[in-house]
Structure 1
């Protein structure tokens, strides 16, 4: 018998049910759409209006990306996926670096796939 069979309570039942569910990112699917919209806005503003407003678009979209990445990582952590210290790096890098959102999208897909395989829930 494992030690989990002796534990009781609501927290233990939640942990058992969590291990049976598929992990999925809450905002992961929206991230490429928002990234594409931000890229188009940045390009149009920089071509037709100028560099200062384009920089403002860059800042606002990256604040939005950082918020989406933070929310997504928090939702994945609530589902039992451990991110460790790298969650701070993803969040911080989303503020300044232009290709963090697509890199996070690809990386989080690998993490979710690996977690679902370990839970034996891949179709």
Structure 2
């Protein structure tokens, strides 16, 4: 008899049910919307106000994207998806490089599709 049969509690029940549920990114769907809004705000500010305020908009939205990527990775990991070391690389890239959020959006779709297929839930 394995030791899992003696474990009880909410966390154990979530672990048992977690393999039967579809993995999804909590903030993944928001990333392209926020990215588009940030791009529009950056364009309007740079055209009508000037480059200094546009740079401030760029910095704020850039840090916001990094926070969204980190929160999404944590939510996906909380569902039992193993990211390995690449989760650190994605967050670091989102923090340091300007156009990583769309690339992360595409990569996370691939990770979630692979995980859902391995759980037998399809796409």
Question: Same fold judged by TM-score > 0.5?
Answer: yes
In the alignment, the residues of structure 2 paired with residue 18 and residue 102 of structure 1 have an alpha-carbon distance, to the nearest angstrom, of 28
User: What aligned pairs does 1:1-123 form with structure 2 within 5 A after superposition?
Assistant: 7-8=4-5, 9-10=7-8, 11-122=11-122
Local SS of the residue matching 2:19: helix
Report how many aligned residue pairs link the two structures. Answer: 120
Partner Cα distance (1:89, 1:71) in 2: 14
- Mapped contact 1:59–1:95 kept (Cα < 8 A): no
State the secondary structure of the residue aligned to 1:120: coil
| Structure 1 stretch displaced more, 110-119 or 91-100 | 91-100
CA distance in 2 between counterparts of 1:57 and 1:88 reads 25
Secondary structure at 2:4's aligned position in 1?
A: coil
Displaced runs of 4 or more, over 6 A: none
Query: Cα distance 1:106–1:37, how it changes in 2: closer, same or farther (>3 A)?
Result: same
Q: 1:98: Cα distance to partner?
A: 2.1
CA distance in 2, matches of 1:50, 1:80: 46
Alignment TM-score, normalising by the size of structure 2 = 0.89
- What is the RMSD of the two structures over their aligned residues, measured on CA atoms? 1.6
Deviation at 1:67, TM superposition (A): 0.8
In structure 1, stretches of 5+ residues that fail to align are none
